[in-house]
Structure 1
Amino acid sequence: MPSALELQRQENIARNKQLLEQLKLKRAVDDVIPVKAKPAKSQAKPVQSSRNKRPREETTEGPRRKSARLQHVIDPDESPSQRKEREAKLEEERAKEAEERLAAEEQARIAKRPRHEDLDLQQLLAEDEEAEDLPSVLQSVPRIKREVRDEDAMDSDDEEENVVSELREKLENLKVTENRVYSATYHPDVTKDLIFFGDKHGQLGIWLPKAPKEEVADEDGDVAPADQEGGKYYRLQCHWPATSKSSISCVKLDPMNSQSIYTSAYDCTIRRLSFESGISTEIFTTEDTLISSLDLTPTGQEMWISDSLGGVWHLDLRQDKSSAIRYALSDQKIGCISVNPTRSNFLLTASNDRSLKIWDIRKLSTLSLDLTPPTPPPSSPGSPFLAPVGRVNNEVDADVVNEFVQSTKGKGCLRGEWRHDKSVSSAYWDPRGRGIVSTSYDDTLRLWDIAPTSFEASGSFPSSRPFHRIRHNCQTGKWLTILRAQWSPNPDVYPHFTIGNMDHSLDIFSGKGELLARLSDPHRISAVQAVTCSHPSIVERVASGNASGRCVLWAPADEEEE
């Protein structure tokens, strides 16, 4: 019902209209009371989108189902026996199609699983047609034994200064080459440069920068001009599937036989590739725990492995892999593990719990004496068997380790510990087995120098404080490989280490923390050199690479010009 105000307004309008009509002012009436007219149709077209419309895909209509009788497949006059025979044949065809479909699906599932069987080079190079000469290349690699020396400090400060000056002069003359390399480990062969890398898709890359690049002619017989990338490189698909689920986390050469190389990957396996036989063999696997790092003792007979759940494994390579023992040393990921090269009883771990710890393996191994070895299940006698992670008979849990470390019997098991401000991404012993360098997300590199007498004592180290700290940007983010300070494995020179710089350079520091060289080339390098490694016996050889696999080799300029 209209309100009183609305009724009053309508009365006023009617009265004014009547008054104007009496005065014969029809036009004024229309102005006062406009007649509602239909809006005129606009002639303007709507604005069309500036984006190109995707053309409609033409879909071909599949065959429509038709009656088998209308297609004359079924004889309307067939006898009951003929009908029974026809239906049996159709059932057999359906069963065959279903079997083939299930087989194809099973093959697709198998293709996505890790491979545990032995693999030869032909299987590893199934998709690489340019690697026919790789077997001969690997077999020609000499068998080199790694040498370690426990040298004392320099006799005087002047002698140390001279050695450091000579080392700086050699390193400052290194120039970037124009080659392509994916790098993680440098082979000790002095007759040729041989570099290995592990990528994020489970491939082991092999690069020979000095090898002449093969000239391939096109269809017209013309040979393309030489580009900026030289040498030869090969790719071996050691871990499977070929996705980021098989990223190779660590690559190590056998210290006693450089014709064998070990790779660990996120497919929860460790494999050994023999250059002599060309066979890749699985030597260790876990149920579903990612393997983050590995290291070998100087004899090459034992291996220590760290995982993403805070455990370390001890594996005797002379025994079956089922004999591996796991020690739960942290409640968070242990991302790096390092065995002392001159005193193999001391183990170094770096964890996401912000701690760097030094363990005495002799004490730690006593915890596994009461463990019973795993036995094969009755259903498969004699077959290789690996007890799953967490099983009592091959694991020492965290409570047992903590109780032992705090007990009188376990005194000296944990020889040293240092807490960082953030996660410790890496920590390694130097070639002498006395110095340690750590890398942390708190943007600091720390250096330790432990006196030889401290190793001989039975208790904890007198002090675990680092003697030097270096401010270094380690904020790599999600898409860049974690920066790790890597010692040069050369035992004949003054200890020094390499690490990538976020400013697209390669930094080389002495064992005392002094910057020896900062290698860069803005004309050729436009990415962070996250991965670094050095030649085990030649000072003037350093390799670095970025997260996408584009890497460079640093060597004296005069050698590259020859």
Structure 2
Amino acid sequence: MSGFCEAREEKAGSRPRPQVNEYKENQNIPYVSLRPIPRTVLEKTVTVHLAAFSCNDKVDQFQHSKSLLEKNSNNELLCKKIEIKKTSRGILTPKMEATSFRAESTLQKSSLDVHRESNTRLHKSSSEAVILSVDMESSQDGDSDEDTTPGLDDFSGLSSYERKRLKNIAENANFFASLQLSESAARLREMIKKRQPSESKRKKPKKRESETGCRRSMRLLKVDPSGVSLPPTPPQPALVAEENPLLPPGPLEMTPENRDGSNELFKEFLQTWAEMSKTSSKNTQKESPSLKSYNANLSGMVISEDTVCKVAKGAVFSVALHPSETRTLVAAGAKSGQIGLWDLTQRPKEDGIYVFHPHSQPVSCLYFSPVNPAHILSLSYDGTLRCGDFSRAIFEEVYRNESNCFSSFDFLGEDGSTLVVGHWDGSMSLVDTRTPGTSYEKLVKFSLQKIRTIHVHPVNRQYFITAGLRNVCIYDARKLTPMGSQPLISLTEQTKSIASAYFSPITGNRVVTTCADCNLRIFDSSCISSQLPLLTTIRHNTITGRWLTRFRAVWDPKQEDCIIVGSMAYPRRIEIFHETGKCLHSLFGGEYLASVCSINAMHPSRYILAGGNSSGKIHVFMNNESF
């Protein structure tokens, strides 16, 4: 055993830090605890004391005591003391209780080596535990070897560190007891309970009334700079709340806005329109020309500088062509509520234009009377339907409903005495103009959200078709009830907003719809049953945007199977399609047609086409025979 200790001392002297051999399992020891195990009553608690030293210090040597683990009568192991002497250059610090993990593991492995040798000599049983205590003391502490040796005093069996630790605990307990912290805490708790809760809402400080007051503008106080109060200003007239106030009810005088109403030209204009009432507008023979001759006539239609003119202020919402065979008369309804009338036979062209203002909001629908061509009926968003009578030079009020906004109308009877009027809120009115005084009205509520256009079947006039927000419906006027009516047929092929729906002009066997999904659809309405079959879908760009009037594809009144629609393509044009989807002809205007004509109308018997754009201009195409 002494040889083993001398070998370890020589090894420790040659290195700055002690080197511990790796642990190898010993078959003679069934269980070895590497950590100190606290024992109660019969055994001592293992403690480790280390002395910290600076990084520059070098360890001189390790000395082991000569006696190692001698067995007592009580089968206890004595603990060997390992004293670490300070070198001449280093300074040892006082004893430390907590040590680093490396130092602890090193001491445990050293104790393991010692324990191996003791087991070989003492042949201890497997149930006994190994307890090793290493006591590191400083030479500057004043602690002698007697302090570390267990004595027979009051703390027998405890090391000097244990005795000092218990003494410190007792002194600290006496010190904290002298502070009387428990009594202070009790008094604080009582004070918190007695304190009243603060108010939740903060009281607003009262405003201090200053003697001088804040400076204020003398102009706002209406005081003269000298201090004299100014006289009260006279009350100003109240401003009109609405941007476009409704015009007064009743007839309005036909006074042109762009001319003097008392000049000779205007009187001649009225006389010309009054003579139109003597001309019959009915075509006794309604037969569609052959497709070949029709296409040839379309090719002869041209436009010139004299057939393009601005006739109204704002975008054109409706266009109508007079059925006269001798004169070319065009009417246009504008967004501003104006109606422009243009006689193309007058030269220069500006002399044939007269602008009237019978409405306060957009004029969405215009028709010449089927029985009196000198009468023109106009419908507006302002809830009025007026008839312009050129023989009396007045705009007579036919129907008025200020609570509803009108969108479209058509003649339910061939004599033009009964009208069907569509409202923007989805309802409809039946108006009889033969009633003396105010017209008779029958208001019908529909389940539609909107009605944009309404059109009557040309043969079976009890049927009419409506274009709503997303659906097209056909109704029977004989089965309408005020509380609500169900449509006979609903066309649900459209996927987006619908702009218009019209029956074909002669037989009514076709229906054309214009939808925002860029499709023109043609349906077979020859047999009005539960469903109308879809015949043709024509791909056409109908996205006009917010600044252009929406496209409305209409039938040519003298051709049963051809439709007319504007185009967004370049160069600008007006296109004519056959019901099979074939584009028969495109009307190009060159420099005279540089804009989009959204609203178009064809003459019922002549090859004259009028298209209106969003700036109030009318473009007229006609063949050479019409000039």
Class of the TM-score when normalised by the shorter of the 2 chains: 0.5 to 0.7
Distance 2:342 2:441 in 1: 33
1:169 aligns with 2:296: yes
AA partner of residue 337 (structure 1): I
CA deviation profile, 1:349-393 (whole Å, cap 9, x unmatched)? 0001x11111111122xx2xxxxxxxxxxxxxxxxxxxxxxxxxx
User: What's the CA shift string for 1:248-296, capped at 9, x where partnerless?
Assistant: 1111111121111111112121111112111111121223322111111
- Structural mapping, 1:539-554, within 5 Å: 540-554=607-621
Cα contact 2:384–2:402 (8 A) shared by 1 = no
- The residue aligned with 2:84 is none
Matched to 1:261, the amino acid is I
Match for 1:200 among 335, 357, 380? 335
Match of 2:549 among 455, 478, 481: 481
**Deviation readout 1:97-141 (Å, 9 max, x if unpaired):** 65xx54xx4899898332313112237678778745432232232
**Partner of residue 520 from structure 2, selected from 433, 437, 445:** 445
The residue number in structure 1 matching 2:324 is 189
Match of 2:565 in 1: 499
Structure 2 counterparts to residues 407-426 of structure 1, below 5 A: 414-426=488-500
Q: Computing the radius of gyration over CA atoms, which structure comes out larger, 1 or 2?
A: 2
Q: Give the number of the structure with larger relative contact order, counting CA–CA contacts within 8 Å between residues 6 or more apart.
A: 1
**Who is 1:313 aligned against?**
429
User: 1:144 touches 1:256 (CA, 8 Å); kept in 2?
Assistant: no
CA RMSD of aligned residues (A): 3.2
Q: Which residue of 2 aligns with 1:339?
A: 456
Q: In the alignment, is the contact (CA less than 8 A) between 1:271 and 1:284 conserved in 2?
A: yes
SS in 1 for 2:271: helix
| 1:351 has 2:418 as partner | no
TM-score, normalised to structure 1, is 0.63
Q: Whole-Å Cα distance in 1 between the matches of residues 359 and 225 of structure 2? A: 47
The alpha carbon displacement at 1:418 in A equals 3.5
Superposition deviation, residue 502 in structure 1: 0.7
Once the two structures are TM-superposed, the CA of residue 147 in structure 1 deviates from its matched residue by: 3.7
Where do 1:362-401 residues align within 5 Å?
362-364=478-480, 367=481, 396-397=482-483, 400-401=484-485
1:274 corresponds in structure 2 to 389
* CA distance in 1 between partners of 2:578 and 2:278 (Å): 30
| Structure 1 residue 416: Cα displacement | 4.8
Is the contact between residue 121 and residue 135 of structure 1 (CA under 8 Å) also seen in structure 2?
Answer: no
Give the alignment of 1:45-56 within 5 angstroms. Answer: none
Structure 1 residue 193 displacement after superposition: 0.1
Distance between the aligned counterparts of 2:555 and 2:462, measured in 1?
20
1:216 corresponds in structure 2 to: none
Partner of 1:54: none
Q: Which residue of 2 aligns with 1:329?
A: 446
Tell me by how many angstroms 1:231 deviates: 6.0
Unaligned stretches of 5+ residues in structure 2: 1-221, 312-317
Instruction: After TM superposition, list the pairs within 5 Å mapping 1:89-168 onto structure 2.
Output: 98=235, 101-102=236-237, 105=238, 112-122=245-255, 131=266, 133-147=268-282, 163-168=290-295
- The answer for the alignment partner of 1:518 in structure 2 is 586
Task: Report SS of the residue matched to 1:117.
Answer: coil
CA distance in 2, matches of 1:261, 1:478: 29
The aligned amino acid for 1:346 is Y
Distance 1:363 1:111 in 2: 38
For the structure 1 residues 283 and 230, does the alpha-carbon distance in structure 2 shift closer, same or farther, using more than 3 Å as the test? closer
CA drift at 1:203: 0.6
The whole-number CA distance in structure 2 between the counterparts of 1:233 and 1:526 is 22
CA distance 1:514–1:508, shift in 2 (3 Å): same
Moved more, 496-505 or 187-196: 496-505
Q: Which runs of 5+ in 1 are unaligned?
A: 1-61, 70-89, 153-159, 214-228, 241-245, 368-395, 406-412, 456-460
Counterparts of 1:202 and 1:477, CA distance in 2 = 21
- Give secondary structure in 2 for the equivalent of 1:142: helix
Cα deviation, 1:307-366, whole Å, max 9, x if unaligned, reads 1111111111112546312222234111000011221100100001x11111111122xx
| Runs of 4+, deviation exceeding 6 Å | 65-69, 106-111, 123-130, 148-152
When normalised by structure 2's length, the TM-score is 0.57
* Partner Cα separation in structure 2 for residue 514 and residue 532 of structure 1: 19
Q: Using the alignment, how far apart are the partners of 2:297 and 2:467 within structure 1?
A: 32
Deviations 1:481-527 (A, max 9, x none): 0100111223xx44422110112210112344332210113322221
CA contact (8 A) 1:499 1:508 kept: yes
1:484 & 1:122 partners in 2: Cα distance? Answer: 31
Whole-angstrom CA distance in 2 between matches of 1:254 and 1:327: 24
SS in 1 for 2:538: strand
Distance 1:163 1:124, change over 3 A: same
CA distance in 2: counterparts of 1:150 and 1:166, whole angstroms: 18
1:427 counterpart residue number: 501
The one-letter code sitting in structure 1 at the alignment partner of 2:494 is H
Superposed, 1:217-232 pairs within 5 Å as 232=352
Q: Conserved in 2, the CA contact under 8 Å of 1:124 and 1:238? A: no
Answer yes or no: is the 8 Å Cα contact 1:425–1:439 preserved in 2: yes
* Amino acid paired to 1:233: I
One-letter identity of the residue aligned with 1:180:
V
3-state secondary structure, aligned to 2:290: helix
The answer to whether residue 420 in structure 2 is matched with residue 304 in structure 1 is yes
- Paired amino acid for 1:445: L
- 2:359 corresponds to 1:239: yes
**Aligned partner of residue 294 in structure 2, secondary structure:** helix
Q: Percent identity?
A: 25
Where 1:176 maps in the other structure, the secondary structure is coil
Contact 1:418 1:464 in 2 (8 A): no
Q: Secondary structure in 2 aligned to 1:484?
A: coil
Alignment equivalent of 1:256, drawn from 333, 350, 371: 371
CA contact (8 A) 1:494 1:511 kept: no
- Output the amino acid matched with 2:380: A
Give the AA of the match of 2:296.
E
Report the 3-state secondary structure (helix = DSSP H, G, I; strand = E; otherwise coil) of the residue aligned with 1:467.
Answer: strand
* Distance in structure 2 (CA, Å) of the matches to 1:445 and 1:267: 30
CA–CA separation in structure 2 for the residues paired with 1:323 and 1:125: 35
The 2-side partners of 1:147 and 1:466 are apart by 32
CA distance in 1, matches of 2:383, 2:359: 10
Q: Is the 8 A contact 1:167 1:494 kept in 2?
A: no
**Deviates further, 333-342 or 179-188:** 179-188
- CA–CA separation in structure 2 for the residues paired with 1:428 and 1:551: 23
Amino acid paired to 1:543? A
Deviation at 1:306, TM superposition (A): 0.9
Alpha carbons 1:495, 1:511 under 8 Å: kept: yes
Q: In 2, distance between residues paired with 1:325 and 1:206?
A: 32
User: 8 Å contact 2:271–2:391 — kept in the other structure?
Assistant: no
